[in-house]
């Protein structure tokens, strides 16, 4: 059963530089009890999509239904069954961690007693005891994030939206959060999660929608997406970076698409249809041309490769912008 | 579909009980804020004491008129509660910036409750300030010369006007999205507005242009209403002949009604469309 459904969503923002098509005909269908990752670089439209689905903004065109309820027609009914953690932690600075969670529980109308009980449970589950009794003001970003995430889980919602839940977290906290998310999903929560991290999408989701320019440009499981760009990649590591251009020529000729050269111009790779055959040809030609190699081989493509192939640019480009965007948002 | 294990369906109580509960929770949050933000406490408690003492002692001497302290007090009350209303503007802008509005807007709560809670917060701030100012005023010789009901009426008029004004400021806060701009605007607009009125000096002493502004300034009608209810009117300080000051109660009643009728729906509509950037 499809529990999150979006059809032809459009959202246009007017900016100084002209109209920005933040969503440009986005379609999504997420089966109940599954995890979908929206994977895309900065500016792809991930946050805008989450905001439309969680009733924060109205789409300019298209429809979205959550558990069969139209988000524009009956936002309040949608809000009763969802939990949301936005891209930036939304906590009341002047309340303690406990009070923040109690407030959320009461605003879900759990009743005063149940709201307090639930807040206590979450404080323990998220190891927030330290933050529990002091105002949030002055706590680290990671701690706020956890309080915010706990806020999204107050009703153990059947549908959960997490917008870049691990962006800006250190690797240890990221792993811990992955653990929490995996547990939730095991209990049957339907999750829509956005990320710029390909590994994260692979780790957490059943199904990935790659979005760029406000629409879905590819969809499928991680394996299906990998398969779409050919069986393998051939990669060689050069002794002399000066050979990079010549090598790229050879690889492009035997590959399925243009070869890519790494930043230090020592590694050259290309997607290929038939890995072993392509590798044989490539090695023979490079040997004839007298190019010296450190290493050569073939491997299964990573999601990074998928992204490059699908969008023509690397996902990392977006990640570098992330820092400046975070600062601008302050 | 029943949802995951441990799913807690939202929604106990009927719609009206939920509305009251939301309003109370939002108010509670703003009351805690008063307690925990030192700047608010300074504004609420220390500044009123300072203003009453400074104006009554410094100006009181210079004016060399017997009843200046009696005349002045309603003016200081009015100025303080009007400034108190700007907290709603700054707080709505701050909440928007912090993203907490996004949290509220994804919860099944009443949107009006967030605004009611906020304006109630201002009402609490202003009530505390009023108590402090009346105590300090009493210490420097201010007296109510009417009845208990006159006294209660004067306090009610001041609080009611400032409460309605909080909704105006709340809309402004949600529109400009910057607490700093609200605070600057308060300084740039509210200082002249409260000074070009009968709050501190009788209007007839002003040059013509200022006099007309002061007569039609709602702050003047507010101060005049409070003075009449407290029994602090004197022949040395005659009220002006303008309609607004001859009928201060009608003016204030119309002003409060207009602010509420226009700005409450505007605020709720605005709230239902805003989201952090
Ligand atoms: N409130 C807004 N006003 C103007 N432009 C916006 C607004 N929100 C988002 N955008 C623009 O819409 C595009 C998509 O943004 P967003 O959904 O935040 O992307 P993502 O979350 O994938 O980084 C970007 O170009 C962004 O600059
Ligand atoms: Mg985003």
Residue with tokens 């303080």: B80
pLDDT of residue B7: 67
Q: Which residue has the higher pLDDT, A167 or A35?
A: A35
Cβ-Cβ contacts under 8 Å for B161 (sequence gap 6 or more)? B78, B81, B82, B218, B222, B252, B255, B256
CA-CA distance, B57 to B273, in Å (whole number)? 49
Which range has the top average pLDDT, A124-133, A250-259, B253-262? B253-262
Distance, in angstroms, between A115 CA and closest chain B CA? 11
CA-CA distance, A23 to A214, in Å (whole number)? 4
Question: Predicted confidence band at A326 (pLDDT cuts at 50, 70, 90)?
Answer: very low
Q: Which of B111, B98, B102 is nearest to B178 (CA)?
A: B98
In a domain, A315, yes or no: no
Contact A84 B13 (CB under 8 A): no
pLDDT of residue A138: 85
Cβ-Cβ contacts under 8 Å for B207 (sequence gap 6 or more)? none
- CATH code of the domain covering residue A156: 3.40.50.300
CA-CA distance, B162 to B119, in Å (whole number)? 9
Q: Which of B158, B133, B132 is nearest to B227 (CA)?
A: B158
Mutation for B interface: A50, A53, A72, A90, most B CBs within 10 A: A90
Compute φ and ψ for B258, nearest 5 degrees. -65, -45
Q: Does A161 share its domain with A245? A: no
Question: Predicted confidence band at A205 (pLDDT cuts at 50, 70, 90)?
Answer: very high
In a domain, A312, yes or no: no
Q: Does A26 share its domain with A54? A: yes
Q: Does A143 share its domain with A237? A: no
Mutation for B interface: A11, A89, A92, most B CBs within 10 A: A92
pLDDT of residue B5: 60
Last residue of a domain, one of A204, A227, A250: A227
pLDDT surpasses 60 at A325: no
pLDDT surpasses 90 at A228: no
pLDDT of residue B119: 98
Q: pTM value?
A: 0.87
CA-CA distance, A166 to A130, in Å (whole number)? 21
pLDDT of residue B48: 92
Strand blocks (E) in A149-284: 159-163, 190-195, 207-212, 215-220, 232-238, 260-261, 267-272
Mean pLDDT of A137-158: 90
Contact A108 B107 (CB under 8 A): yes
Q: Which residue has the higher pLDDT, A311 or A88?
A: A88
3-state secondary structure chain B: CCCCCCCCCCCCCCHHHHHHHHHHHHHHHHHHHHHHCHHHHHHHHHHHHHHHHHHHHHHHHHHCCCCHHHHHHHHHHHHHHHHHCHHHHHHHHHHHHHCHHHHHHCCCCCHHHHHHHHHHHHHHHHHHHHHHHHHHHHHCCCCCCCCHHHHHHHHHHHHHHHHHHHHHHHHHHHHHCCHHHHHHHHHHHHHHHHHCCCCCCCHHHCCHHHHHHHHHCHHHHHHHHHHHHHCCCCCCCCCCCCHHHHCHHHHHHHHHHHHHHHHHHHHHHHHCCCCCC
Q: Does A220 share its domain with A150? A: yes
The least confident of A140-144, A292-296, B27-31, B127-131 is A140-144
Question: Predicted confidence band at A320 (pLDDT cuts at 50, 70, 90)?
Answer: very low
Q: Which strands, in side-by-side order, build the sheet including A232-238?
A: A260-261, A267-272, A232-238, A293-299
CA angle B2, B3, B8 (to 5 degrees): 95
Chain B residue with the nearest C-alpha to that of A50: B106
Q: Does A9 share its domain with A154? A: yes
Compute φ and ψ for A106, nearest 5 degrees. -70, -35
Last residue of a domain, one of A174, A198, A227: A227
Using a CB-CB cut-off of 8 Å, the residues of chain B touching A108 are 8, 10-11, 107-108
In a domain, A70, yes or no: yes
Q: Does A165 share its domain with A293? A: no
Distance, in angstroms, between B190 CA and closest chain A CA? 27
In a domain, A325, yes or no: no
Q: Does A150 share its domain with A214? A: yes
In a domain, A305, yes or no: no
Q: Does A125 share its domain with A205? A: yes
Q: Does A57 share its domain with A174? A: yes
Q: Does A258 share its domain with A155? A: no
In a domain, A308, yes or no: no
Contact B108 A79 (CB under 8 A): yes
CA-CA distance, B21 to B239, in Å (whole number)? 45
Please, are residues B84 and B126 in contact by the beta-carbon 8 Å criterion?
yes
Helix (H) / strand (E) containing A201: helix A198-204
Q: pLDDT of A62-114, one tens digit each?
A: 999 999 999 999 999 999 999 999 999 899 999 999 999 999 999 999 999 99
Domain count, chain A: 2
Residue ranges for chain B with pLDDT beneath 50: 1-2
**A164 C-alpha to center of ligand 2: Å?**
7
Q: Does A128 share its domain with A248? A: no
- Using a 10 angstrom Cβ sphere, with 0-12 exposed, 13-18 middle and 19 or more buried, the burial of residue B70 is buried
Question: Predicted confidence band at A319 (pLDDT cuts at 50, 70, 90)?
Answer: very low
Using a CB-CB cut-off of 8 Å, the residues of chain A touching B13 are 109, 111
Please, are residues A135 and A94 in contact by the beta-carbon 8 Å criterion?
yes
- CATH code of the domain covering residue A252: 3.30.70.100
Chain A to chain B Cβ contacts (< 8 Å): 123
DSSP state of A242: G
**B276 C-alpha to center of ligand 1: Å?**
11
Question: Domain range holding A296?
Answer: 231-300
Helix (H) / strand (E) containing A174: helix A171-186
Mean pLDDT of A178-191: 89
């Amino acid at each position: 059963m499809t529990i999150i459904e979006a059809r032809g969503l459009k959202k246009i923002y007017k900016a100084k530089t002209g109209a920005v098509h933040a969503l440009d005909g986005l379609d999504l269908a997420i089966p109940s009890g599954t995890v979908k990752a929206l994977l895309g670089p900065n500016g792809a439209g991930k946050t805008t999509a989450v905001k439309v689905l969680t009733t924060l903004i109205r789409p300019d065109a298209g429809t979205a239904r959550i558990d069969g309820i139209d988000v524009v027609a009956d936002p309040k009914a949608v809000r009763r069954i969802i939990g949301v953690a936005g891209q930036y932690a939304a906590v009341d600075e002047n309340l303690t961690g406990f009070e923040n969670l109690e407030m959320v529980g009461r605003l879900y109308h759990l009743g005063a007693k149940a709201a307090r009980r639930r807040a206590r449970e979450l404080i323990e589950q998220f190891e927030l005891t330290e933050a529990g009794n002091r105002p949030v003001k002055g706590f680290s970003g990671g701690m706020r994030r956890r309080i915010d995430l706990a806020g999204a889980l107050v009703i153990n919602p059947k549908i959960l939206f997490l917008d870049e839940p691990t962006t800006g977290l250190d690797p240890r906290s990221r792993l811990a959060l992955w653990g929490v998310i995996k547990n939730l999903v095991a209990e049957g929560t339907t999750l829509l999660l956005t990320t710029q991290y390909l590994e994260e999408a692979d780790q957490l989701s059943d199904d990935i929608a790659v979005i760029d320019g406000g629409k879905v440009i590819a969809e499928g499981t991680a394996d299906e997406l990998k398969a779409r760009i050919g069986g393998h990649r051939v990669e060689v590591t050069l002794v002399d970076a000066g050979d990079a251009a010549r090598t790229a020529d050879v690889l492009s000729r035997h590959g399925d698409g243009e070869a890519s050269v790494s930043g230090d111009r020592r590694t050259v790779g290309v997607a290929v249809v038939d890995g072993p055959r392509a590798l044989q040809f490539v090695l023979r030609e490079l040997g004839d041309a007298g190019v010296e190699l450190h290493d050569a081989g073939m491997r299964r493509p990573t999601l990074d490769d998928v992204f490059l192939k699908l969008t023509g640019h690397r996902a990392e480009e977006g990640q570098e912008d992330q820092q400046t965007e975070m600062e601008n948002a302050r | 579909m029943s949802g995951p294990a441990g799913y807690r369906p939202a929604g106990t109580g009927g719609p009206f009980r939920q509305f009251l509960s939301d309003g109370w929770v939002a108010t509670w949050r703003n009351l805690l804020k008063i307690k925990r933000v030192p700047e608010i406490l300074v504004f609420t408690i220390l500044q009123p004491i300072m203003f009453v003492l400074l104006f009554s002692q410094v100006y009181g001497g210079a004016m060399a008129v017997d009843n200046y302290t009696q005349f002045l007090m309603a003016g200081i009350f009015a100025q303080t509660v009007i400034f108190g209303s700007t907290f709603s503007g700054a707080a709505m802008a701050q909440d928007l910036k912090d993203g907490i509005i996004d949290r509220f807007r994804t919860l099944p709560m009443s949107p009006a409750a967030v605004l009611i809670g906020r304006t109630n917060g201002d009402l609490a701030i202003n009530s505390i300030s009023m108590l402090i100012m009346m105590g300090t005023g009493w210490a420097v010789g201010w007296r109510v010369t009417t009845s208990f009901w006159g006294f209660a009426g004067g306090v009610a008029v001041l609080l009611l006007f400032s409460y309605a004004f909080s909704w105006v400021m709340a809309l402004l806060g949600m529109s400009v999205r910057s607490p700093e701009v609200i605070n600057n605007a308060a300084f740039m607009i509210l200082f002249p507005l409260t000074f070009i009125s009968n709050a501190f000096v009788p209007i007839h002493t002003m040059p013509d242009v200022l006099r007309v502004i002061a007569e039609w300034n709602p702050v003047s009608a507010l101060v005049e209403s409070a003075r009449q209810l407290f029994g602090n009117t004197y022949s040395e300080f005659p009220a002006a002949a303008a309609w607004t000051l001859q009928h201060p109660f009608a003016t204030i009643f119309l002003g409060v009604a207009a602010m509420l009728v226009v700005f409450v729906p505007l605020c709720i509509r605005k709230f239902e469309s805003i989201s952090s950037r």
